Amino acid sequence: MKEAAKYGRIDSLQPPYSLFWRQVEKDAMPYCVENNISIIAYSPLAQGLLTGKFAADHKFDPQDNRAKNKLLQGENYQRAQQALDKLRPIAHRHNCTLAQLALFWLIAQPQANAIAGARHSEQAIANAKSADVKLSENELQEIDAIGRIVTDHLDDNSVMWNW
């Protein structure tokens, strides 16, 4: 990014970023914060995992690219279920969904915005309402710590899929 910035202004970076996938915080985020570059997060719901709708024994269709997502496999997936169980009471307290909680946490991070994917208009409307969730600084930190149940076990590879 430093090299590219020699040739023109960089307005935004589009990395994978969510409560369960946070490598950007270690590499590009400090540079983005310092240089006022927007972080436009893709897969902010970890491809739907953060909605909490997939059961512990869910099997993805091999044609679905989620079948190759590292977060949706093996121990990562089981850790994600543990983390989601800890997030549920916080969402319940705020009368919001897990998706809204995860998106609000994300857009509260420095320079962060979310491209929340949606298959149906209802999902898009519900996801947009994440901006209405109100969480205290303590709650954001609590959610942060819960996310680390998953992220502390990931390596630095920023590619989310085993293609």
Ligand X SMILES: NC(=O)c1ccc[n+]([C@@H]2O[C@H](COP(=O)([O-])OP(=O)(O)OC[C@H]3O[C@@H](n4cnc5c(N)ncnc54)[C@H](OP(=O)(O)O)[C@@H]3O)[C@@H](O)[C@H]2O)c1
Q: Which of residues 26-55 bind ligand X (CB under 6 A)?
A: 42-48, 51, 53
Closest to ligand X by CB, 53 vs 153, is: 53
Closest to ligand X by CB, 61 vs 152, is: 61
Phi, psi of 31 (to 5 degrees): -65, -40
Closest to ligand X by CB, 14 vs 35, is: 14
Calpha distance 27→54 (Å, rounded): 30
In this structure, what is the dihedral angle of CA atoms 101, 118, 80, 18, given to the nearest 10 degrees?
A: -70
Q: Which of residues 98-127 bind ligand X (CB under 6 A)?
A: 99, 115-119, 123, 126-127
Which residues, in sequence order, are bridge partners of residue 113? 40
Dihedral angle sign, alpha carbons of residues 100, 105, 111, 112: negative
- Smallest distance, Å, CB 138 to ligand X? 26
- Smallest distance, Å, CB 159 to ligand X? 10
Q: Which of residues 60-89 bind ligand X (CB under 6 A)?
A: none
Calpha distance 60→57 (Å, rounded): 10
Q: Which of residues 8-27 bind ligand X (CB under 6 A)?
A: 14
Question: Which DSSP category does 126 fall into?
Answer: H
Q: For binding to ligand X (CB under 6 A), which residues are involved?
A: 14, 42-48, 51, 53, 99, 115-119, 123, 126-127
